[in-house]
């Protein structure tokens, strides 16, 4: 049973990795490479994000979401799906425990950790959206 669950989780993790590699391969650079005769102020402006493509973060003339927001959305979906599956598995284990105290404790821990996983993923999603909306110029 454990081996089957682990194989299913590995299969679920391969899909976003393949999607992200294809997505990262299609990201294009907005400006061509410039000569090396830039001044210090140009370097400071680059550190502030001037002259860089907003497509990586989303917004601007690109439209749609950036790659960071896309990655966050995909990971949140995966964590949510795995958490729901683990909640179902914990409920089934709790139902078929037949009064065995160790099986009941194990099932309750599975349910508890699934709920904690959902809460942590939602908080991470909120933090990433806050950071992206605070620091990215539209």
Q: Is 31 part of any domain?
A: no
Cα(18)–Cα(14) distance, rounded to whole angstroms?
A: 6
* pLDDT one digit per residue (tens) for the chain, 138 residues: 667 776 666 666 665 655 555 455 544 444 455 555 566 666 666 666 666 555 555 555 555 567 777 887 888 888 888 988 999 999 999 999 988 999 999 999 999 999 998 888 888 888 877 887 777 655
Structural domains counted in the chain: 1
Boundaries of domain holding 112? 2-23+38-135
SS3 103: helix
* pLDDT, position 94: 93
Write a three-state SS string for 47-90.
HHCCCCCHHHCECCCCCCECHHHHHHHHHHHHHHHHHHHHHHHH
- Taking residue 129's Cβ as centre, other Cβ atoms within 10 Å add up to 14
* pLDDT, position 92: 94
Q: Is 33 part of any domain?
A: no
Q: Is 63 part of any domain?
A: yes
Q: Is 29 part of any domain?
A: no
Q: Is 28 part of any domain?
A: no
Q: Is 60 part of any domain?
A: yes
């Amino acid at each position: 049973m454990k081996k089957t669950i682990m194989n299913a989780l590995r299969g679920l993790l391969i899909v976003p990795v393949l999607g992200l590699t294809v997505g990262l391969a299609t990201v294009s650079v907005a400006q061509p490479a410039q000569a090396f005769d830039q001044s210090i102020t140009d370097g400071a402006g680059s550190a502030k994000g001037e002259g860089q493509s907003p497509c990586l973060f989303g917004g601007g003339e690109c439209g749609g979401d950036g790659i960071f927001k896309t990655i966050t959305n995909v990971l949140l979906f995966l964590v949510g799906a795995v958490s729901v599956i683990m909640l179902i598995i914990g409920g089934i284990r709790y139902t078929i425990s037949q009064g065995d105290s160790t099986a009941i404790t194990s099932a309750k821990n599975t349910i508890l950790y699934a709920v904690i996983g959902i809460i942590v993923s939602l908080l991470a999603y909120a933090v990433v959206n806050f950071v992206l909306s605070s620091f990215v110029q539209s």
